[in-house]
Structure 1
Amino acid sequence: MTEVHHEDVAAYALGLLSEEEQAAFERHLDGCGLCAGEVGSFAAMGELIKGVHPDDLLPQPADPQVESLLVRRAAAERRRRRFHRSFMTAAACLVVAAGVFLGVSSLTGEPNPDSIHSPARDLLMTGRTYAITDPATGVAGVVGLEDKGWGTHVALELKGVKGPLQCRLTAFGDDGRSEVVASWGVPEKGYGVPGSPDPLVLHGGTSLPQTELNHFTIQTTDGRILATVAV
Protein backbone atom coordinates (compact mmCIF):
# COMPACT_ATOMS: atom_id res chain seq x y z
CA MET A 1 0.00 0.00 0.00
CA THR A 2 1.28 3.43 -0.94
CA GLU A 3 2.16 5.56 2.06
CA VAL A 4 0.53 9.03 2.10
CA HIS A 5 1.86 12.12 3.89
CA HIS A 6 0.20 15.51 4.46
CA GLU A 7 3.19 17.18 2.75
CA ASP A 8 2.20 15.45 -0.51
CA VAL A 9 -0.59 18.01 -1.00
CA ALA A 10 1.76 20.31 -2.90
CA ALA A 11 3.03 17.56 -5.19
CA TYR A 12 -0.55 16.37 -5.78
CA ALA A 13 -1.82 19.87 -6.66
CA LEU A 14 1.09 20.38 -9.07
CA GLY A 15 0.61 17.01 -10.77
CA LEU A 16 3.95 15.62 -9.65
CA LEU A 17 2.71 12.33 -8.21
CA SER A 18 2.64 9.01 -10.03
CA GLU A 19 -0.74 7.52 -10.91
CA GLU A 20 -0.55 5.17 -7.94
CA GLU A 21 0.45 7.97 -5.57
CA GLN A 22 -2.25 10.25 -6.96
CA ALA A 23 -4.97 7.64 -6.42
CA ALA A 24 -3.77 7.04 -2.89
CA PHE A 25 -3.72 10.74 -2.07
CA GLU A 26 -7.22 11.23 -3.46
CA ARG A 27 -8.43 8.55 -1.03
CA HIS A 28 -6.59 10.44 1.72
CA LEU A 29 -8.40 13.68 0.76
CA ASP A 30 -11.77 12.08 1.43
CA GLY A 31 -10.94 11.94 5.11
CA CYS A 32 -8.60 14.93 5.55
CA GLY A 33 -10.25 18.34 5.50
CA LEU A 34 -6.91 20.11 6.06
CA CYS A 35 -5.33 18.76 2.87
CA ALA A 36 -8.56 19.19 0.92
CA GLY A 37 -8.56 22.89 1.83
CA GLU A 38 -4.94 23.37 0.81
CA VAL A 39 -5.18 21.75 -2.63
CA GLY A 40 -6.81 24.83 -4.17
CA SER A 41 -4.12 27.16 -2.84
CA PHE A 42 -1.28 25.06 -4.15
CA ALA A 43 -3.03 24.60 -7.51
CA ALA A 44 -3.18 28.39 -7.88
CA MET A 45 0.53 28.60 -7.12
CA GLY A 46 1.09 25.99 -9.78
CA GLU A 47 0.00 28.51 -12.43
CA LEU A 48 3.16 30.46 -11.64
CA ILE A 49 5.43 27.66 -12.77
CA LYS A 50 3.59 26.55 -15.92
CA GLY A 51 5.58 26.69 -19.12
CA VAL A 52 8.99 26.57 -17.47
CA HIS A 53 11.40 24.78 -19.79
CA PRO A 54 13.72 22.28 -18.09
CA ASP A 55 16.69 24.32 -19.26
CA ASP A 56 15.33 27.24 -17.24
CA LEU A 57 15.36 25.34 -13.99
CA LEU A 58 18.13 25.53 -11.46
CA PRO A 59 19.68 22.24 -10.25
CA GLN A 60 17.08 20.21 -8.32
CA PRO A 61 17.60 20.52 -4.56
CA ALA A 62 17.17 17.58 -2.27
CA ASP A 63 13.83 18.78 -0.84
CA PRO A 64 11.24 19.21 -3.67
CA GLN A 65 8.91 21.58 -1.86
CA VAL A 66 6.71 24.20 -3.52
CA GLU A 67 8.95 26.94 -2.14
CA SER A 68 11.92 25.57 -4.08
CA LEU A 69 9.82 25.35 -7.25
CA LEU A 70 8.77 28.97 -6.90
CA VAL A 71 12.37 30.02 -6.23
CA ARG A 72 13.48 28.27 -9.41
CA ARG A 73 10.63 29.91 -11.31
CA ALA A 74 11.61 33.36 -9.99
CA ALA A 75 15.24 32.74 -10.93
CA ALA A 76 14.21 31.77 -14.44
CA GLU A 77 12.12 34.93 -14.76
CA ARG A 78 15.04 37.04 -13.58
CA ARG A 79 17.25 35.45 -16.25
CA ARG A 80 14.64 36.19 -18.91
CA ARG A 81 14.37 39.81 -17.79
CA ARG A 82 18.15 40.21 -17.80
CA PHE A 83 18.30 38.78 -21.33
CA HIS A 84 15.48 41.07 -22.46
CA ARG A 85 17.20 44.14 -21.02
CA SER A 86 20.49 43.13 -22.64
CA PHE A 87 18.78 42.59 -25.98
CA MET A 88 17.00 45.96 -25.86
CA THR A 89 20.22 47.71 -24.83
CA ALA A 90 22.05 46.17 -27.78
CA ALA A 91 19.23 47.17 -30.13
CA ALA A 92 19.33 50.75 -28.83
CA CYS A 93 23.10 50.85 -29.39
CA LEU A 94 22.58 49.74 -32.99
CA VAL A 95 20.02 52.49 -33.55
CA VAL A 96 22.34 55.12 -32.10
CA ALA A 97 25.24 53.82 -34.17
CA ALA A 98 23.10 53.95 -37.31
CA GLY A 99 22.12 57.55 -36.54
CA VAL A 100 25.75 58.55 -36.03
CA PHE A 101 26.71 56.87 -39.32
CA LEU A 102 23.97 58.68 -41.24
CA GLY A 103 24.90 62.02 -39.68
CA VAL A 104 28.60 61.58 -40.50
CA SER A 105 27.75 60.48 -44.03
CA SER A 106 25.80 63.66 -44.69
CA LEU A 107 28.62 65.81 -43.31
CA THR A 108 31.37 64.08 -45.28
CA GLY A 109 29.52 64.14 -48.56
CA GLU A 110 29.33 60.36 -48.84
CA PRO A 111 26.10 58.80 -50.22
CA ASN A 112 23.41 58.70 -47.59
CA PRO A 113 21.62 55.32 -47.62
CA ASP A 114 18.57 56.92 -45.99
CA SER A 115 18.30 59.76 -48.48
CA ILE A 116 15.02 58.43 -49.90
CA HIS A 117 13.32 58.92 -46.53
CA SER A 118 15.44 61.73 -45.08
CA PRO A 119 13.92 64.90 -43.57
CA ALA A 120 15.13 66.80 -46.64
CA ARG A 121 13.41 64.38 -49.03
CA ASP A 122 10.22 64.43 -46.98
CA LEU A 123 10.14 68.22 -47.04
CA LEU A 124 10.71 68.36 -50.79
CA MET A 125 7.74 66.03 -51.22
CA THR A 126 5.32 67.67 -48.76
CA GLY A 127 6.41 71.30 -48.40
CA ARG A 128 5.94 74.35 -50.60
CA THR A 129 8.49 74.08 -53.40
CA TYR A 130 10.21 76.52 -55.74
CA ALA A 131 12.21 75.50 -58.80
CA ILE A 132 15.79 76.64 -59.44
CA THR A 133 17.12 76.99 -63.00
CA ASP A 134 20.08 79.07 -64.11
CA PRO A 135 21.03 78.54 -67.77
CA ALA A 136 24.22 80.56 -67.36
CA THR A 137 25.72 78.24 -64.71
CA GLY A 138 23.80 75.05 -65.51
CA VAL A 139 22.60 74.78 -61.91
CA ALA A 140 19.06 73.45 -61.38
CA GLY A 141 17.08 72.09 -58.46
CA VAL A 142 14.28 72.66 -55.97
CA VAL A 143 13.90 74.52 -52.67
CA GLY A 144 11.25 73.24 -50.24
CA LEU A 145 9.82 75.21 -47.31
CA GLU A 146 7.67 74.56 -44.27
CA ASP A 147 6.70 76.75 -41.34
CA LYS A 148 8.15 76.03 -37.91
CA GLY A 149 7.66 77.73 -34.57
CA TRP A 150 11.25 78.95 -34.71
CA GLY A 151 11.14 80.12 -38.38
CA THR A 152 11.30 78.14 -41.64
CA HIS A 153 12.57 74.65 -42.35
CA VAL A 154 14.38 74.64 -45.71
CA ALA A 155 15.35 71.74 -47.98
CA LEU A 156 17.45 71.86 -51.13
CA GLU A 157 17.94 69.50 -54.06
CA LEU A 158 20.77 70.63 -56.30
CA LYS A 159 21.93 69.41 -59.72
CA GLY A 160 24.33 70.55 -62.42
CA VAL A 161 27.18 71.65 -60.18
CA LYS A 162 30.81 70.53 -60.45
CA GLY A 163 33.60 70.92 -57.92
CA PRO A 164 35.67 71.37 -56.09
CA LEU A 165 33.64 74.17 -54.51
CA GLN A 166 32.60 75.49 -51.11
CA CYS A 167 28.99 76.69 -51.26
CA ARG A 168 26.24 78.07 -49.10
CA LEU A 169 22.48 78.59 -49.30
CA THR A 170 21.43 82.03 -48.03
CA ALA A 171 17.90 83.24 -47.21
CA PHE A 172 16.97 86.90 -47.75
CA GLY A 173 13.97 88.59 -46.12
CA ASP A 174 11.73 91.35 -47.42
CA ASP A 175 13.43 93.72 -44.97
CA GLY A 176 16.90 92.99 -46.36
CA ARG A 177 18.01 90.62 -43.62
CA SER A 178 20.02 87.59 -44.69
CA GLU A 179 20.86 84.31 -42.96
CA VAL A 180 22.95 81.35 -44.07
CA VAL A 181 20.68 78.30 -44.16
CA ALA A 182 23.35 75.68 -44.90
CA SER A 183 26.87 75.32 -46.24
CA TRP A 184 28.58 72.37 -47.91
CA GLY A 185 31.47 71.24 -50.04
CA VAL A 186 31.09 70.02 -53.62
CA PRO A 187 33.60 67.28 -54.53
CA GLU A 188 35.36 67.36 -57.87
CA LYS A 189 32.94 64.88 -59.44
CA GLY A 190 30.01 67.18 -58.59
CA TYR A 191 26.29 66.51 -58.23
CA GLY A 192 23.68 65.85 -60.93
CA VAL A 193 26.19 65.87 -63.78
CA PRO A 194 27.43 63.22 -66.26
CA GLY A 195 29.38 60.59 -64.34
CA SER A 196 27.79 61.69 -61.04
CA PRO A 197 24.02 61.78 -61.66
CA ASP A 198 22.82 61.85 -58.03
CA PRO A 199 21.74 65.29 -56.83
CA LEU A 200 22.85 66.91 -53.60
CA VAL A 201 20.03 66.82 -51.04
CA LEU A 202 20.28 68.69 -47.72
CA HIS A 203 18.23 70.72 -45.29
CA GLY A 204 18.64 73.54 -42.81
CA GLY A 205 16.70 76.41 -41.33
CA THR A 206 16.30 80.15 -40.98
CA SER A 207 14.67 82.24 -38.28
CA LEU A 208 12.91 84.23 -41.00
CA PRO A 209 9.20 83.27 -41.19
CA GLN A 210 8.10 81.93 -44.55
CA THR A 211 5.78 84.95 -45.01
CA GLU A 212 8.78 87.29 -44.75
CA LEU A 213 11.11 85.44 -47.14
CA ASN A 214 12.00 87.16 -50.40
CA HIS A 215 14.52 84.91 -52.14
CA PHE A 216 17.39 82.46 -51.74
CA THR A 217 20.81 82.42 -53.33
CA ILE A 218 23.20 79.54 -53.90
CA GLN A 219 26.70 80.91 -54.09
CA THR A 220 30.30 79.96 -53.60
CA THR A 221 32.24 81.20 -50.60
CA ASP A 222 34.14 83.59 -52.89
CA GLY A 223 30.85 85.32 -53.78
CA ARG A 224 29.98 83.79 -57.15
CA ILE A 225 26.20 83.35 -57.54
CA LEU A 226 25.27 79.94 -58.93
CA ALA A 227 21.48 80.36 -58.77
CA THR A 228 18.75 82.55 -57.29
CA VAL A 229 15.20 81.52 -56.49
CA ALA A 230 12.40 83.95 -55.66
CA VAL A 231 9.72 82.91 -53.15
Structure 2
Amino acid sequence: MTEVHHEDVAAYALGLLSEEERAAFERHLKSCGSCAGEVGSFAAMGELIRGVHPDDLLPHQPEPQVESLLVRRAAAERRRRRVNRTFTTAAACLVVAAGVFVAVGSVTGEPNPDSIHSPAAALLMTGRTYTVTDPASGVTSVVGLEDKGWGTHVALELKGVKGPLQCRLLAVGDDGRSEVVASWGVPGKGYGVPGSPDPLLLHGGTSLNQDELNHFTIQTVDGRILATVAV
Protein backbone atom coordinates (compact mmCIF):
# COMPACT_ATOMS: atom_id res chain seq x y z
CA MET A 1 0.00 0.00 0.00
CA THR A 2 1.41 3.42 -0.97
CA GLU A 3 2.16 5.65 2.04
CA VAL A 4 0.73 9.16 1.84
CA HIS A 5 2.19 12.24 3.59
CA HIS A 6 0.53 15.63 4.00
CA GLU A 7 3.57 17.39 2.51
CA ASP A 8 3.01 15.49 -0.75
CA VAL A 9 0.48 18.17 -1.71
CA ALA A 10 3.34 20.20 -3.26
CA ALA A 11 4.74 17.23 -5.18
CA TYR A 12 1.20 16.40 -6.37
CA ALA A 13 0.67 19.94 -7.65
CA LEU A 14 4.02 19.85 -9.47
CA GLY A 15 3.28 16.51 -11.13
CA LEU A 16 6.23 14.80 -9.40
CA LEU A 17 4.27 11.79 -8.12
CA SER A 18 4.14 8.47 -9.91
CA GLU A 19 0.77 7.26 -11.19
CA GLU A 20 0.36 4.99 -8.16
CA GLU A 21 1.34 7.76 -5.73
CA ARG A 22 -0.96 10.27 -7.44
CA ALA A 23 -3.91 7.89 -7.18
CA ALA A 24 -3.17 7.28 -3.49
CA PHE A 25 -2.91 11.01 -2.79
CA GLU A 26 -6.19 11.74 -4.59
CA ARG A 27 -7.88 9.17 -2.32
CA HIS A 28 -6.27 10.94 0.64
CA LEU A 29 -7.65 14.32 -0.52
CA LYS A 30 -11.22 13.08 -0.21
CA SER A 31 -10.83 12.66 3.57
CA CYS A 32 -8.27 15.37 4.39
CA GLY A 33 -9.72 18.86 4.56
CA SER A 34 -6.33 20.42 5.22
CA CYS A 35 -4.72 19.08 2.04
CA ALA A 36 -7.86 19.74 0.02
CA GLY A 37 -7.72 23.36 1.10
CA GLU A 38 -4.08 23.72 0.03
CA VAL A 39 -4.12 21.86 -3.27
CA GLY A 40 -5.88 24.65 -5.16
CA SER A 41 -3.18 27.15 -4.22
CA PHE A 42 -0.32 24.83 -5.13
CA ALA A 43 -1.93 23.55 -8.33
CA ALA A 44 -0.94 26.62 -10.36
CA MET A 45 2.77 26.02 -9.65
CA GLY A 46 2.90 23.31 -12.27
CA GLU A 47 1.60 25.77 -14.84
CA LEU A 48 4.09 28.44 -13.75
CA ILE A 49 7.16 26.26 -14.27
CA ARG A 50 6.11 24.92 -17.69
CA GLY A 51 8.09 27.64 -19.45
CA VAL A 52 11.10 27.58 -17.11
CA HIS A 53 14.18 25.76 -18.37
CA PRO A 54 16.50 24.37 -15.66
CA ASP A 55 19.53 26.11 -17.26
CA ASP A 56 17.90 29.47 -16.58
CA LEU A 57 18.05 28.76 -12.86
CA LEU A 58 21.61 27.45 -12.46
CA PRO A 59 23.46 30.80 -12.17
CA HIS A 60 21.24 31.98 -9.32
CA GLN A 61 21.04 30.28 -5.94
CA PRO A 62 17.83 31.03 -4.00
CA GLU A 63 18.04 32.59 -0.59
CA PRO A 64 17.31 30.00 2.15
CA GLN A 65 14.46 32.06 3.57
CA VAL A 66 12.52 32.16 0.28
CA GLU A 67 12.54 28.43 -0.37
CA SER A 68 9.32 26.83 0.78
CA LEU A 69 9.76 24.34 3.63
CA LEU A 70 6.89 22.35 2.19
CA VAL A 71 8.56 22.01 -1.22
CA ARG A 72 11.96 21.16 0.37
CA ARG A 73 10.39 18.30 2.29
CA ALA A 74 8.54 17.08 -0.79
CA ALA A 75 11.79 17.14 -2.77
CA ALA A 76 13.58 15.13 -0.09
CA GLU A 77 10.87 12.49 -0.20
CA ARG A 78 11.29 12.18 -3.97
CA ARG A 79 15.14 12.14 -4.21
CA ARG A 80 15.23 8.36 -4.19
CA ARG A 81 12.92 8.45 -7.21
CA ARG A 82 15.50 10.58 -9.11
CA VAL A 83 13.42 13.75 -9.17
CA ASN A 84 15.29 16.70 -10.66
CA ARG A 85 16.06 19.03 -7.76
CA THR A 86 16.33 22.07 -10.02
CA PHE A 87 12.65 22.07 -10.91
CA THR A 88 11.63 21.84 -7.26
CA THR A 89 13.82 24.83 -6.39
CA ALA A 90 12.31 26.75 -9.29
CA ALA A 91 8.81 26.03 -8.02
CA ALA A 92 9.71 27.25 -4.53
CA CYS A 93 11.04 30.55 -5.90
CA LEU A 94 8.00 30.99 -8.14
CA VAL A 95 5.62 30.52 -5.22
CA VAL A 96 7.21 33.54 -3.54
CA ALA A 97 7.63 35.66 -6.67
CA ALA A 98 4.23 34.87 -8.17
CA GLY A 99 1.93 34.54 -5.19
CA VAL A 100 -0.36 37.23 -6.54
CA PHE A 101 -0.48 35.48 -9.92
CA VAL A 102 -1.60 32.23 -8.28
CA ALA A 103 -4.41 34.00 -6.47
CA VAL A 104 -5.61 36.14 -9.37
CA GLY A 105 -4.83 33.72 -12.21
CA SER A 106 -7.24 31.18 -10.81
CA VAL A 107 -10.18 33.07 -12.34
CA THR A 108 -8.83 33.95 -15.78
CA GLY A 109 -10.94 31.33 -17.54
CA GLU A 110 -8.07 30.18 -19.79
CA PRO A 111 -8.70 26.74 -21.36
CA ASN A 112 -6.28 24.14 -20.05
CA PRO A 113 -7.15 20.82 -21.69
CA ASP A 114 -3.80 19.10 -21.17
CA SER A 115 -3.06 19.38 -17.45
CA ILE A 116 -4.51 17.27 -14.64
CA HIS A 117 -2.80 19.61 -12.17
CA SER A 118 -4.51 22.83 -13.30
CA PRO A 119 -6.59 25.00 -10.94
CA ALA A 120 -9.69 23.81 -12.82
CA ALA A 121 -8.84 20.16 -12.12
CA ALA A 122 -8.17 20.95 -8.46
CA LEU A 123 -11.54 22.70 -8.08
CA LEU A 124 -13.38 19.83 -9.78
CA MET A 125 -11.80 17.51 -7.21
CA THR A 126 -12.40 19.59 -4.08
CA GLY A 127 -15.43 21.75 -4.87
CA ARG A 128 -19.16 21.04 -5.15
CA THR A 129 -19.74 19.39 -8.54
CA TYR A 130 -22.69 18.90 -10.88
CA THR A 131 -22.64 16.55 -13.89
CA VAL A 132 -24.95 16.22 -16.88
CA THR A 133 -24.90 14.56 -20.30
CA ASP A 134 -27.11 16.30 -22.83
CA PRO A 135 -29.09 13.68 -24.79
CA ALA A 136 -29.35 15.87 -27.89
CA SER A 137 -25.74 17.04 -28.26
CA GLY A 138 -24.03 14.12 -26.49
CA VAL A 139 -21.89 16.64 -24.56
CA THR A 140 -20.94 15.70 -20.99
CA SER A 141 -20.32 18.61 -18.64
CA VAL A 142 -19.02 18.73 -15.09
CA VAL A 143 -19.27 22.06 -13.26
CA GLY A 144 -17.35 22.63 -10.02
CA LEU A 145 -18.14 25.50 -7.63
CA GLU A 146 -16.26 27.20 -4.80
CA ASP A 147 -17.42 30.15 -2.69
CA LYS A 148 -15.27 33.28 -2.87
CA GLY A 149 -15.60 36.69 -1.25
CA TRP A 150 -16.29 38.21 -4.66
CA GLY A 151 -18.79 35.53 -5.81
CA THR A 152 -18.20 31.99 -7.07
CA HIS A 153 -15.14 30.34 -8.60
CA VAL A 154 -16.32 28.04 -11.41
CA ALA A 155 -14.54 25.16 -13.14
CA LEU A 156 -15.75 23.25 -16.21
CA GLU A 157 -14.84 19.88 -17.69
CA LEU A 158 -16.27 19.28 -21.16
CA LYS A 159 -16.32 16.03 -23.15
CA GLY A 160 -17.97 14.85 -26.33
CA VAL A 161 -17.72 18.09 -28.28
CA LYS A 162 -16.34 18.50 -31.81
CA GLY A 163 -15.31 21.71 -33.53
CA PRO A 164 -14.63 24.07 -34.89
CA LEU A 165 -16.83 26.03 -32.51
CA GLN A 166 -16.76 29.23 -30.49
CA CYS A 167 -18.39 28.63 -27.12
CA ARG A 168 -19.14 30.28 -23.81
CA LEU A 169 -20.26 29.30 -20.32
CA LEU A 170 -23.10 31.32 -18.82
CA ALA A 171 -24.06 31.46 -15.14
CA VAL A 172 -27.78 32.10 -14.66
CA GLY A 173 -29.25 33.24 -11.34
CA ASP A 174 -32.62 32.53 -9.76
CA ASP A 175 -33.64 36.06 -10.71
CA GLY A 176 -32.86 35.47 -14.39
CA ARG A 177 -29.64 37.47 -14.36
CA SER A 178 -26.89 35.91 -16.49
CA GLU A 179 -23.12 36.41 -16.65
CA VAL A 180 -20.44 35.04 -18.95
CA VAL A 181 -18.08 32.89 -16.88
CA ALA A 182 -15.69 32.01 -19.72
CA SER A 183 -15.43 31.73 -23.49
CA TRP A 184 -13.24 29.50 -25.64
CA GLY A 185 -12.70 27.95 -29.04
CA VAL A 186 -13.07 24.25 -29.82
CA PRO A 187 -10.63 23.06 -32.52
CA GLY A 188 -11.77 20.72 -35.24
CA LYS A 189 -10.47 17.62 -33.44
CA GLY A 190 -12.67 18.44 -30.44
CA TYR A 191 -12.42 17.39 -26.79
CA GLY A 192 -13.26 14.07 -25.16
CA VAL A 193 -13.98 12.32 -28.46
CA PRO A 194 -12.32 9.44 -30.37
CA GLY A 195 -8.91 10.57 -31.54
CA SER A 196 -8.89 13.43 -29.02
CA PRO A 197 -9.78 11.84 -25.67
CA ASP A 198 -8.62 14.64 -23.35
CA PRO A 199 -11.45 16.80 -21.97
CA LEU A 200 -11.49 20.58 -22.04
CA LEU A 201 -10.68 22.04 -18.61
CA LEU A 202 -11.20 25.72 -17.87
CA HIS A 203 -12.16 27.97 -15.01
CA GLY A 204 -13.56 31.42 -14.45
CA GLY A 205 -15.79 33.33 -12.09
CA THR A 206 -19.18 34.91 -11.54
CA SER A 207 -20.30 37.61 -9.13
CA LEU A 208 -23.35 35.45 -8.33
CA ASN A 209 -23.05 33.58 -5.03
CA GLN A 210 -23.74 29.85 -4.97
CA ASP A 211 -27.09 30.33 -3.24
CA GLU A 212 -28.12 32.73 -6.05
CA LEU A 213 -27.26 30.34 -8.90
CA ASN A 214 -29.93 28.45 -10.79
CA HIS A 215 -28.06 26.80 -13.67
CA PHE A 216 -25.17 27.02 -16.12
CA THR A 217 -25.54 26.97 -19.88
CA ILE A 218 -22.83 25.85 -22.31
CA GLN A 219 -23.65 27.29 -25.70
CA THR A 220 -22.12 28.34 -28.99
CA VAL A 221 -21.77 32.05 -29.68
CA ASP A 222 -24.69 31.85 -32.12
CA GLY A 223 -26.94 30.60 -29.31
CA ARG A 224 -27.01 26.83 -29.88
CA ILE A 225 -27.19 25.13 -26.46
CA LEU A 226 -24.76 22.25 -25.93
CA ALA A 227 -25.71 21.51 -22.31
CA THR A 228 -27.57 22.94 -19.34
CA VAL A 229 -26.29 22.12 -15.84
CA ALA A 230 -28.79 22.73 -13.03
CA VAL A 231 -27.36 23.61 -9.63
User: Normalization by structure 1: what TM-score?
Assistant: 0.54
Aligned position for 2:86:
none
> Segments of 4+ in structure 1 off by > 4 A?
89-97
Match of residue 121 from structure 1: 121
User: 2:217 is matched with which residue?
Assistant: 217
Counterpart AA for 2:226: L
1:130 corresponds to:
130
Relative distance call for 1:92 and 1:201 in structure 2 (3 A) is: closer
Number of aligned pairs?
Answer: 141
Aligned counterpart, 1:144: 144
Query: What CA distance in whole angstroms lies between the structure 2 residues aligned with 1:178 and 1:86?
Result: 49
Quote the residue 1:172 is aligned against.
Answer: 172
Q: Give the one of 78, 82, 86 matched to 2:60.
A: 86
Q: TM-score, normalized by length of structure 2?
A: 0.54
1:40-51 paired onto structure 2 within 5 Å: none
Letter in 2 for 1:199: P
SS, match of residue 132 in structure 1: strand
- SS class of match (2:204): strand
Q: Gaps spanning 5+ residues in structure 2: where?
A: 1-57, 64-88
Looking at structure 2, the residues matched to 148 and 94 of structure 1 have their Cα atoms a distance apart, in angstroms, of 27
Q: Which amino acid aligns with 1:185?
A: G
Show the 5 A alignment for 1:152-231: 152-231=152-231
Question: Cα distance 1:94–1:185, how it changes in 2: closer, same or farther (>3 A)?
Answer: farther
Aligned-partner Cα distance in 2 for 1:213–1:156: 15
Output the aligned Cα RMSD.
3.1
Separation (CA, whole Å) in 1 of partners of 2:224 and 2:199: 20
Higher relative contact order (CA 8 A, sep 6+): 2
Q: Which protein is richer in helix relative to its size?
A: 1
One-letter amino acid of the counterpart of residue 60, structure 2: S
Kindly name which structure, 1 or 2, has the bigger radius of gyration based on alpha carbons: 1
Assess if the C-alpha contact under 8 Å between 2:62 and 2:93 holds in 1: no
Contact 2:113 2:200 in 1 (8 A): no
- Equivalent residue letter for 2:185: G
Distance (whole Å) between structure 1 residues aligned to residue 121 and residue 182 of structure 2: 16
Q: What secondary structure does 1:123 align onto?
A: helix
Q: Per the alignment, do residues 142 and 91 of structure 1 end up closer, same or farther by CA in structure 2, a change over 3 Å counting?
A: closer
Percent identity, aligned pairs only?
A: 76
- Residues 47-86 of structure 1 aligned to structure 2 (within 5 Å): 86=60
Matched with 1:60 is none
**Mapped partners of 2:113, 2:138: distance in 1:** 22
